[in-house]
């Protein structure tokens, strides 16, 4: 006999025959040397889903806040959707390697508006109601502050499973360690209903 949780688990597995996946990419200057690798990785990751309309993929990039005086969740941020959620018929994400970086750095430091960008990605896409939702976040630097309940609520509203991936370059700097520590905050504090 299956418990209710076992049934939910089985249902979730069967639902993975379809998904909405958004890649949120740190588009700041510090990521420039990694963009070719990121683009190749996205192309490789999605190759098994080419032409399958049950899987939709989107891409967004971010940088930092636009004003040193406004650095709260929801304040203006250097953020853009590069690809709306749609089925992948081309199998080629390599154009991301040539995307214009988010070079504005109003705060003149290495930290970025990570959590505001997660918030923006959660609310900027038209997530399908009948599919699991995944936000795969690729970055090298963290935020100036920890994630907040506002971010968690926006993710939960769309039932988004958040998957952070830390890019480790030649030098491990404090900002990279902060990104990793903040991903642990998401793990401890953010849960979807199921």
Look at residue 13 in the predicted model and tell me its pLDDT. 47
Digit-by-digit pLDDT tens for the chain (194 residues) are: 344 555 554 455 445 789 999 999 998 887 887 888 888 888 898 999 999 999 999 999 998 888 888 888 889 999 999 999 999 988 777 777 777 776 676 666 677 889 999 999 999 999 999 899 999 999 888 888 889 999 999 999 999 999 998 887 666 677 788 888 888 888 888 876 66
- Say if residues 151 and 118 touch (Cβ distance below 8 Å): yes
Look at residue 24 in the predicted model and tell me its pLDDT. 96
- Residue 112: name the closest of 147, 67, 136, 142 by CA: 142
Q: Which residues have CB under 8 Å from 5's CB, separation 6+?
A: none
As a whole number of angstroms, the distance between CA 155 and CA 115 comes to 11
As a whole number of angstroms, the distance between CA 187 and CA 163 comes to 10
Look at residue 92 in the predicted model and tell me its pLDDT. 75
Look at residue 156 in the predicted model and tell me its pLDDT. 92
CA dihedral 62, 68, 70, 71 (to 10 degrees): 50
Distance from the Cα of residue 24 to its chain's centroid: 3
- Please provide the distance, in angstroms rounded to a whole number, between the alpha carbons at the two ends of the chain: 20
Q: How many residues does the chain have?
A: 194
């Amino acid at each position: 006999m299956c418990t209710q949780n076992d049934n939910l688990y089985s249902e979730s597995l069967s639902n993975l025959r379809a998904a909405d996946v958004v890649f949120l990419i740190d588009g700041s200057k510090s990521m420039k040397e990694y963009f070719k690798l990121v683009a190749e990785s996205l192309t490789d990751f999605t190759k098994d889903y080419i032409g399958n309309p049950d899987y939709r993929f989107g891409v967004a990039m971010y940088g930092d806040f636009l004003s040193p005086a406004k650095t709260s969740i929801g304040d203006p941020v250097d953020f853009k959707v590069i690809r709306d959620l749609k089925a992948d018929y081309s199998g080629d994400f390599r154009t991301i390697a040539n995307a214009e970086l988010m070079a504005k750095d109003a705060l003149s430091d290495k930290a970025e508006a990570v959590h505001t960008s997660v918030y923006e990605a959660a609310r900027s896409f038209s997530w399908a109601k009948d599919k699991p939702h995944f936000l795969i976040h690729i970055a090298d630097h963290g935020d100036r502050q920890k994630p907040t309940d506002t971010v968690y609520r926006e993710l939960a509203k769309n039932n988004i499973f958040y998957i952070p991936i830390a890019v480790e370059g030649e030098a491990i700097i404090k900002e990279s360690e902060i990104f990793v520590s903040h991903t642990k905050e998401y793990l401890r504090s953010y849960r979807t209903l199921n």
